[in-house]
Amino acid sequence: MQAHVDKDTCIGCGVCPSVAPEVFAMDDDGKAVEIVESVPESSADSAKEAEDSCPVNAISVE
Ligand code: SF4
């Protein structure tokens, strides 16, 4: 499973790193970024929750 943030769409709200800090972080440009190449099984639920929580649908987890 991989997570990806579309930085052009991200508005930097900060939700995804608070929901799944092991998968997402805020980058220096104020946008979110995925910090793992593949999402560990133990983080799959929180990564999906972050995807569902993003207000602008900038996250894909698949
Ligand atoms: S939840 Fe969406 S808009 Fe908010 S920081 Fe994460 S990717 Fe960006």
Q: Model confidence over 13-55: pLDDT tens digits?
A: 999 999 999 999 999 999 999 999 999 999 999 999 999 999 9
Alpha-carbon gap, residue 39 to 43, rounded angstroms = 6
* Amino acid 4: pLDDT: 98
How far is residue 22's CA from residue 39's CA, in Å, rounded to a whole number? 9
Provide the domain limits for residue 56. 3-61
Q: Relative to the CA of 5, which ligand 1 atom is closest?
A: 7
Give the pLDDT confidence score for residue 25 in this predicted structure: 98
- Interval between CA 1 and ligand 1 midpoint (Å): 19
Place of tokens 């698949």: 62
| Closest listed residue to residue 32, CA positions, set 62, 45, 1, 61 | 61
pLDDT at 21: 98
Block residue for tokens 């099984």: 41
Q: What is the CATH number of the domain that holds 18?
A: 3.30.70.20
Q: What does the pLDDT read at residue 58? A: 98
Tell which one of 13, 24, 60 to mutate to probe ligand 1, the residue whose CB is within 8 A of the most ligand atoms: 13
Question: Which of 11, 24, 26, when mutated, tests ligand 1's pocket best, judged by the most ligand atoms within 8 Å of its CB?
Answer: 11
The pLDDT value recorded for residue 28 is 97
Rounded distance between C-alpha atoms, residue 59 and residue 48, angstroms? 9
Structure confidence at residue 31 (pLDDT): 98
Number of separate domains in the chain: 1
